[in-house]
């Protein structure tokens, strides 16, 4: 009889701390968002969103971080497009052309997963060496190139995971109707997976816009609005990072405000990808 | 030539173009890690010709101006921070993953899925800001005095806590996947023998999923090892071999990120930083290959 009591107590004990662990994770997320909003919201203003830094901005005078917001959006947009041009064909190729070679596909996925784990600072350092090799200086394009490399594995694996779920019958019936493989890829698989692909692109976009380590070496920093690919560009994560290291209180507050802006962008992307996962189901064959 | 035939030739041609492009980009993507390795290696050759790799990795003197590039303080700091992060995040993830897969009602999973996703999507610089705002003062005001020390809060411990929160969603996701691969029949068989849920967890689930758990942890470890900005912001960045968690440290990625500005003005400095990046790359890839392989084995045994 006693043994059961001990067992029950043990189970109860572990159930409680397991529940606590889950709650702790929820609490951590809430705490992060709460503390960013609490410190940042008071400093967010229309001026911050619509102006570039003016003289004395880094001593707490007026100006905003439009340069960094636009720079980050351009950078992430460019990188996502480039990664999409490379990533979509790769994912299609793995799922359609290499369908027969299971072992090869498994090794390719394995390699991509390993690449997903490479830290962004390593991509940053590599992007920097390439940049120096070609005699370029830090610019929007160099940043885009580096970030593209960094999000390619993410993009491919995310699209690939969706394409894995396409029923085999679809491939077989398209082939039997005489479609070429590229037609199957872009007319059948692409349409079938359109919602998943949107999610994958948004995921990569979020990674691209939030990463600081890979652009630290390559995009440089400037107070001007980005106007050409060969000019240095400010980015939002670096704007936060630089402003936070300032000793002046106003500038620090702006760092918190910039953090709010970045957080809102990321949350919006995450919301958008949730919505897109439910939508665009019209062309889907079940 | 009939129009149908011409149409078919165009189709075949288009197919050819698409397939060629696909093969090209596939090989480009797969060669990426090799290019990374070669690029960084070529950059670090000047330093390696001058000093031995062993000497650089295990020397504690970091004096770029006089040509001493000992990476040991940074490697030790990195180890401290990552191991600490895993010690914090590991148990929490394990407990929570068991809770979510074995005990929780579906509605809890429905809440926690977006929570995990959002947590995984938050940029590292935001974690850094959070660390500066919340964790650093907490360490300075609560943890430090508790151990009778007067510290600024910028310490390895703060870095470990921030990193732990960052890798939680990552480890948790893999753990949930791993627990899902344990077949339902095992649960049913164990429970029908009269065992409780907890006995099933303790004696069957953990044992069955053990390789998966190990690899989830080591993937988390390698993710933490390469994390840059968030750690850089809270860890203090003092070049010294740390011997306690409440001291400031200077992890490898932070070293690379902090010194890119001056590295072109001092001879060999860029080589040393690129070598540091190469070391990072090699360690992370080795860890990843090992743990991915373990996961692959687990999934294969099940399926």
pLDDT for B62-72, tens place per residue?
777 777 777 88
**Looking at residue B218, what is its pLDDT?**
86
The answer as to whether B154 is a domain residue is yes
Residue B119 shares a structural domain with residue B194: yes
The sign of the CA dihedral B156, B159, B165, B171 is negative
The answer as to whether B48 is a domain residue is no
Q: Mean of the per-residue pLDDT values for chain B?
A: 84
Q: Which domain holds residue B14?
A: 3-40
The answer as to whether B163 is a domain residue is yes
The answer as to whether B57 is a domain residue is no
The residues, any chain, with a CB within 8 Å of residue A46's CB and separated by 6 or more, are none
- B251 pLDDT band, cuts 50/70/90, is confident
Determine the average pLDDT of the residues in A177-200: 85
- Least confident range of A51-65, A227-241, A245-259: A51-65
Task: Read off the pLDDT of residues B82-98 as tens digits, 9 standing for 90 and up.
Answer: 999 999 999 999 999 99
**Looking at residue A82, what is its pLDDT?**
92
Residue B21 shares a structural domain with residue B91: no
Strand partners, B63: B68
- Residue B44: pLDDT above 80? yes
The answer as to whether B227 is a domain residue is yes
Contact yes or no for A22 and B104 at CB 8 A? yes
- Residue A45: pLDDT above 50? yes
Residue B136 shares a structural domain with residue B262: yes
Compute and round to an integer the Cα radius of gyration of chain B. Answer: 24
Domain boundaries, chain A: 2-43, 50-278
Domain count, chain B: 2
10 Å CB burial of residue A134 (0-12, 13-18, 19+) is exposed
Residue B293 shares a structural domain with residue B177: yes
B 136-165 near A (Cβ less than 8 A): 165
The answer as to whether B183 is a domain residue is yes
Residue B181 shares a structural domain with residue B235: yes
B172-208: b or e for each residue (b if 16 or more CB lie within 10 Å)? Answer: bbbbbbbbeebeeeebeebeeeebebbbbbbebbeeb
Determine the average pLDDT of the residues in B181-196: 84
Q: For chain B, percent helix, then strand, then coil, each to nearest 5? A: 80, 0, 20
**Looking at residue A58, what is its pLDDT?**
65
Task: Read off the pLDDT of residues A16-44 as tens digits, 9 standing for 90 and up.
Answer: 988 899 999 999 999 999 988 888 888 77
A vs B, Cβ pairs < 8 A, gives 258
Give the ipTM. 0.88
- Residue A156: pLDDT above 80? yes
As a whole number of angstroms, the distance between CA A120 and CA B253 comes to 10
As a whole number of angstroms, the distance between CA A216 and CA B255 comes to 13
Residue B66 shares a structural domain with residue B31: no
Task: Read off the pLDDT of residues A54-88 as tens digits, 9 standing for 90 and up.
Answer: 766 666 666 677 888 888 899 999 999 999 999 99
Alpha helix ranges (H) inside chain A = 2-40, 46-50, 66-92, 102-116, 120-133, 140-163, 168-176, 181-183, 190-192, 194-210, 213-216, 236-244, 249-278
How many Cα atoms are found within 13 Å in the side-chain-facing hemisphere of B261?
A: 4
B 81-140 near A (Cβ less than 8 A): 91-93, 95-96, 98-100, 103-104, 108, 111-112, 114-119, 121-130, 132-134
Contact yes or no for A113 and B288 at CB 8 A? yes
On chain A, the residues whose CB falls within 8 A of the CB of B127 are 32
**Looking at residue B91, what is its pLDDT?**
92
Measuring CA to CA, which residue among B21, B23, B18 is closest to residue A181?
B18
Residue B166 shares a structural domain with residue B30: no
The answer as to whether B47 is a domain residue is no
Task: Read off the pLDDT of residues B266-287 as tens digits, 9 standing for 90 and up.
Answer: 777 788 888 888 888 988 888 8
- Residue B303: pLDDT above 50? no
Give, rounded to a whole angstrom, the gap between the first and last alpha carbons of chain B.
Answer: 53
Helix, strand, or coil (residue B69): strand
The residues, any chain, with a CB within 8 Å of residue A162's CB and separated by 6 or more, are A193, A196, A197, A199, A200
Judged by a CB distance cut-off of 8 A, whether residue B36 touches chain A is yes
Question: Helices A140-163 & A194-210, crossing angle to 10 degrees?
Answer: 150
On chain A, the residues whose CB falls within 8 A of the CB of B104 are 22
φ, ψ dihedrals at B154, nearest 5°: -80, 95
Determine the average pLDDT of the residues in B191-214: 84
The residues, any chain, with a CB within 8 Å of residue A229's CB and separated by 6 or more, are A139, A140, A141, A144
Q: Mean of the per-residue pLDDT values for chain A?
A: 84
**Looking at residue A282, what is its pLDDT?**
58
Q: What is the dihedral of CA A155, A161, A164, A166, to 10 degrees?
A: -80
Determine the average pLDDT of the residues in A87-102: 87
Contact yes or no for A120 and B226 at CB 8 A? yes
The sign of the CA dihedral B225, B228, B234, B240 is positive
Contact yes or no for B165 and A152 at CB 8 A? no
Residue B82 shares a structural domain with residue B29: no
Task: Read off the pLDDT of residues B208-233 as tens digits, 9 standing for 90 and up.
Answer: 888 888 888 888 888 888 888 888 88
- Residue A90: pLDDT above 60? yes
Helix, strand, or coil (residue B247): coil
- A195 pLDDT band, cuts 50/70/90, is confident
Residue B225 shares a structural domain with residue B89: yes
- Residue A232: pLDDT above 70? yes
Least CB-CB distance to A35: which of B36, B133, B287? B133
Residue B253 shares a structural domain with residue B135: yes
The CATH number of the domain where B90 resides is what? 1.10.3720.10
From the options 1.10.287.1040, 3.40.50.300, 1.10.3720.10, 1.10.357.10, give the CATH code of A50-278.
1.10.3720.10
10 Å CB burial of residue B146 (0-12, 13-18, 19+) is exposed
As a whole number of angstroms, the distance between CA A196 and CA A189 comes to 11
The answer as to whether B52 is a domain residue is no
- Residue B39: pLDDT above 80? yes
Selected residue of B129, B166, B235, B291 to mutate for chain A interface (largest A Cβ count, 10 A): B129
């Amino acid at each position: 009889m006693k043994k059961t009591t001990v067992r029950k107590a043990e189970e109860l004990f572990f159930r409680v701390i397991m529940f606590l662990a889950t709650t702790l994770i929820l609490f951590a997320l809430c705490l992060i968002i709460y503390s960013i909003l609490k410190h940042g919201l008071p400093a967010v203003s229309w001026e911050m969103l619509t102006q570039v830094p003016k003289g004395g901005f880094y001593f707490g005078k007026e100006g905003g971080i439009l340069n960094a917001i636009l720079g980050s959006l351009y950078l992430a947009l460019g990188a996502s497009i480039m990664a999409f041009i490379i990533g979509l064909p790769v994912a299609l190729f793995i799922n359609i052309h290499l369908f027969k070679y299971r072992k090869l596909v498994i090794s390719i996925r394995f390699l991509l997963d390993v690449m997903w784990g490479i830290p962004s600072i390593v991509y940053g350092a590599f992007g920097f060496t390439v940049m120096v090799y070609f005699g370029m200086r830090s610019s929007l394009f160099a940043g885009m190139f580096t970030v593209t490399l960094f999000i390619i594995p993410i993009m491919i694996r995310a699209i690939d995971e969706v394409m894995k779920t396409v029923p085999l019958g679809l491939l077989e019936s398209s082939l039997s109707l005489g479609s070429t493989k590229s037609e199957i890829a872009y007319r059948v698989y692409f349409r079938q997976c359109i919602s998943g692909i949107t999610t994958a692109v948004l995921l990569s976009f979020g990674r691209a816009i939030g990463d600081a380590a890979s652009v630290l070496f390559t995009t440089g920093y400037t107070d001007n609005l980005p106007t050409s690919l060969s000019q240095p560009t400010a980015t939002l994560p670096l704007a936060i990072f630089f402003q936070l290291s300032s000793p002046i209180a106003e500038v620090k507050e702006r760092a918190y405000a910039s953090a709010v802006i970045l957080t809102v962008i990321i949350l919006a992307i995450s919301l958008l990808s949730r919505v897109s996962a439910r939508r665009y189901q019209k062309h889907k064959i079940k | 030539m009939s129009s149908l035939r011409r149409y078919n030739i165009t189709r075949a041609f288009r197919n050819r173009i698409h397939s060629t492009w696909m093969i090209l980009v596939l090989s480009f993507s797969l060669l990426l890690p090799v290019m990374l390795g070669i690029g960084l290696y070529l950059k670090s050759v000047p330093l390696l010709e001058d000093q031995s790799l062993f000497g650089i990795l295990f020397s504690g003197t970091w004096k770029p101006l006089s040509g001493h590039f000992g990476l040991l303080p940074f490697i030790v700091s990195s180890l401290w921070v990552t191991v600490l992060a895993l010690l914090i995040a590991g148990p929490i993830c394990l407990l929570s993953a068991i809770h979510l897969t074995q005990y929780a009602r579906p509605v809890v999973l429905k809440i926690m899925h977006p929570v995990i996703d959002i947590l995984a999507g938050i940029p590292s610089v935001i974690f850094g800001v959070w660390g500066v705002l919340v964790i650093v003062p907490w360490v300075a005001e609560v943890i430090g005095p508790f151990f009778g020390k007067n510290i600024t809060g910028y310490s390895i411990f703060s870095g470990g806590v921030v990193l732990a929160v960052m890798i939680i969603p990552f480890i948790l996701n893999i753990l949930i996947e791993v627990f899902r691969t344990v077949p339902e029949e095992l649960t049913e068989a164990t429970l029908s023998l009269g065992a409780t849920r907890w006995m099933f967890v303790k004696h069957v689930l953990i044992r069955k999923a053990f390789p998966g758990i190990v690899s989830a942890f080591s993937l988390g470890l390698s993710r933490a090892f390469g994390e840059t900005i968030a750690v850089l912001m809270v860890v203090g960045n003092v070049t010294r071999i740390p011997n306690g968690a409440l001291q400031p440290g200077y992890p490898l990625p932070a070293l690379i990120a902090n010194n890119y500005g001056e590295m072109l003005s001092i001879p060999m400095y860029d080589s040393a930083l690129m070598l540091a990046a190469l070391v990072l790359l090699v360690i992370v890839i080795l860890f990843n290959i090992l743990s991915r392989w373990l996961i692959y084995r687990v999934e294969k045994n099940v399926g």
